[in-house]
Structure 1
Amino acid sequence: MAFFPEFRYLTRMTGLSPTLRMILLTALLLAFGGFGGLMAQIAHVPMPFMLGSLASAAIATALFQHGGLSGYRFPMKFRTGFIGLIGVMIGTQVQPHLFDEAAGLALSIGALALFVVLAHGGNFVIFRKIGGYNPPTAFFAGAPGGLMESLVMGEKAGADLHLLTAQQFLRIILVISVMPTALSLWLGHPVGSAAGASLGPQGPVPLFALLMIVLAAAGGLGLAKLVHLPAGQITGPLLLSAALTLSGLVDLHLPFWLIAVAQVVVGVSLGVRFAGMSARMLGRSIWLSALSVGWMLLLGAGFAVALMQVTGLDFLVLMISYSPGGVTEMSIIALSLAANPALVSLHHVVRILFTVSLMGLAERLLPVRKA
């Protein structure tokens, strides 16, 4: 941060209205996150704009959470708009040949139910026996998906909300940080953006095309809200974009710079989640989350290897589909690695549905409530 004395000065904003302060701080964090993304790209880091911006925002939050960033919350409605753009991008990847894999797809999606039960059970043991968390905190912290649902249900059940929030966000952050590098090591060569792959056209995009992209995202978000789609921020625009693509009426292609900006927004919104965590709490939570994520990734790799043999689906696609990050973040990874993002997104939406259903059932049947 010594290279950015302006950041220290600007985060001391006083005498401003809360709304203006939030806008200025958000713009500042996004600019800093964008710089971090560019540095990560130069260093050939996988998914540079999301991981670089996440790291930059986390550093800024750690340094200024008791100063200029005190009380700051990232505007989630702003984030939702960019998640909608990512959904549009994924929808453009839906092609007729996707339906040729219907038989294998049904088997891999069905196996997610067993994965969720095993992953959740192993996580409960980790957080309860090793972490020493009380039963409701261990149970809901171990949920392999459904971040917001786990927080709401966990709070009602008597979980420690600070620990629960830390573990759930660290699950997503660690998965998206580990996955691209782990896959490169597994396959023996760089993949995706680290190998020079591009997420979108590099040249200029006509203004009309940009307008259609924005309208597709807005229409998809409205559709998701109307029919209460699960993970609607991404699935609504995805479905609308897919329908437009399959119809042949519209040819939507997001430019590279717009996808990079969307990654920066998602990365910064994750990085600021480190606010309010003490060094001791963060260290303990990271250690437990590393055990939990390690367990789930090993389990997911086992499912991917087995399913690859019987379904004919690609290992890379299956591995990303069985990695328990967030729907948005894992979809971005699939885009970055050119690993059938539409199929990956479908798996993650189903994983969340299975996880939320399991949490609701177990909350009623198992002794996870605080005495």
Structure 2
Amino acid sequence: MPPPLAPLLRFLPTLALGLAGGAVAFAVNLPLPWLLGAMLATTVASLAGVRLRSPGRGRQGVLVVIGVMLGSAFTPEMSGAPGPWSLSLAVMLVATAAMMAFSVWFSQRVAGHSRETALYAGVPGGVSTVTLMAMASGADLRVVGMTHAVRILVLLVAIPPVLEAIGHVDLAGARPEPARWLWLPGSADAAWLAAAGLGGAWLGRRLRLPSALLFGPALVSAALHLTGVTHAAVPPTLLALAQVLIGVSVGVRFAGTSLARVGQALVMAVAQALVLLALAVLAAWLGHLLTGISAAAALLAYMPGGAPELSLVALTLGIDPAFVTTHHLLRISVLVLLLPALLRPITRSQS
């Protein structure tokens, strides 16, 4: 068997479970069915001890596709956005600082983790970058990974009821008509989308962007759509598959997690995530009052972490994905730049 095919074949049972979970969720009219169905099915299986495989490099391809899709939300008609967006970005940064301060305090003082573990676990976003940085430190990687995974899980599960409560969003109306599942872009549009994905992935790595495979294609696709070079969209079937793969990526993070052994850590992570959700709701309401931007869009933009997941939710539900993506790009960029400075005092105290 050729080496590239072996990981794919090992991942197929996990993918099948995710697709089955999404199909069941779709059949019972669960909001965000492909994402939440796949995520919940694989999370339950992981916690039950079933050995599931991560998408591996497949997730990288999904990030590129999501980036291209997000870029298609930027249109020439957005010329009036900079004013309210600038104020909203400022609100988001203040809210992010408050969330991180609470997370670090909670992780250290309430959950009893070390200062280094508390800092990495408390960063509200950039899970991939944060995990890589934590690997070169004395932080407890299990706690860091679990805290981020639980946070994303809690936020995604909470999105439908919270949006319906504050955003007046018709979640059922976000489903495409049956005929739309078979829609495909024309050959020229498909070529532009492919060019945006491949060129954006190269550019993102070249510029060393945070989440380069997500934000690089998003920037190139946005440039093509803002200039009117193309108005192409991504097929709904591909969007649903992207949701399944992202949902599976969240669920398999709990593989090897024993409820009996890490029960307290899970409870602490859930409690922390719920408080952060409450802070995000308050910040979104403030952002809505100050800028007039919908509370639903502000909530998805201000939620702490999970840029691919939350941007994909915004795209799926049609809740200003360009606005949400811009906020998450700025948040991750600021966190990546500031995190080394925040870690320096801890490093000095341990030397």
Quote the residue 1:10 is aligned against.
Answer: none
Contact residue 201 and residue 256 of structure 1 kept, 8 A: yes
- Summarize the Cα distance change of 1:315–1:333 in structure 2 as closer, same or farther, 3 Å threshold: same
The structural deviation recorded for 1:257 is: 0.6
Q: Of 173, 188, 191, which aligns to 2:170?
A: 191
Whether the 8 Å CA contact 2:47–2:259 is kept in 1: the answer is no
Q: Which residue number corresponds to residue 70 of structure 2? A: 90
1:307, distance to aligned residue in structure 2 (A): 2.0
Does 2:268 correspond to 1:278? Answer: no
1:46 shift after superposition: 1.6
Q: Distance in 2 between matches of 1:241 and 1:222?
A: 13
How far 1:263 sits from its partner (Å)?
0.9
Superposition pairs of residues 30-45 of structure 1, within 5 angstroms = 30-45=15-30
Structure 2 unaligned runs (5+)?
A: none
Counterpart of 2:176, as a letter, is S
**Alignment pair present for 1:317 and 2:300:** no
Q: Is the 8 A contact 2:115 2:346 kept in 1?
A: no
The answer to whether the 8 A contact 2:185-2:232 is kept is no
Deviations 1:97-140 (A, max 9, x none): 32312111111112233222211111122211221112111121
1:202 aligns to 2:212 (yes or no): no
Q: CA deviation at 1:158?
A: 1.3
Q: Quick one: structure 1 residues 17 and 240, their matched pair in 2 at CA, closer, same or farther if it must change by over 3 Å?
A: closer
Residues 328 and 254 (structure 1), Cα distance of their counterparts in 2 relative to 1, 3 Å cut: same
Amino acid at match of 1:33: G
- 1:194-241 deviations in Å (ceiling 9; x for gaps): 344439943431561444433321221112112222222111111111
Q: For residues 138-182 of structure 1, give each alpha carbon's deviation from its aligned partner in whole angstroms, at most 9, with x where no partner exists.
A: 121111112123223334341111111111122122212212222
Q: SS of the residue aligned with 1:202?
A: helix
Q: Of the candidates 334, 340, 344, which is equivalent to residue 324 of structure 2?
A: 344
**Structure 2 residue corresponding to 1:28, chosen from 3, 10, 13:** 13
Please report how far the alpha carbon of residue 44 of structure 1 lies from its aligned counterpart in structure 2 after TM superposition: 1.6
1:363 CA displacement: 0.8
Q: 1:74 aligns with which of 55, 60, 63?
A: 55
Instruction: Show the counterpart of 2:279.
Output: 299
Offset of residue 37 of structure 1: 0.5
Aligned pairs for 1:1-371 (under 5 A) are: 20-63=5-48, 65=50, 69=52, 72-75=53-56, 77-187=57-167, 191-192=170-171, 194-198=172-176, 201-206=180-185, 208=187, 209-366=189-346
1:260, CA displacement in angstroms? 0.4
SS at the partner of 2:136? helix
Query: Does the aligned pair in 1 maintain the 2:104–2:118 contact within 8 Å?
Result: yes
Q: Is the 8 A contact 2:117 2:140 kept in 1?
A: yes
Tell me the amino acid that sits aligned with residue 51 of structure 1: L
Structure-2 change in CA distance of 1:57 and 1:330 (3 Å): same
Distance 1:243 1:290, change over 3 A: same
Tell me, in whole angstroms, the C-alpha distance in 2 between the residues paired with 1:250 and 1:278: 49
Q: Would you say the 8 A contact 1:304–1:318 is kept in 2?
A: yes
- What is the rounded CA distance, in whole Å, between the counterparts of 2:183 and 2:88 in structure 1? 39
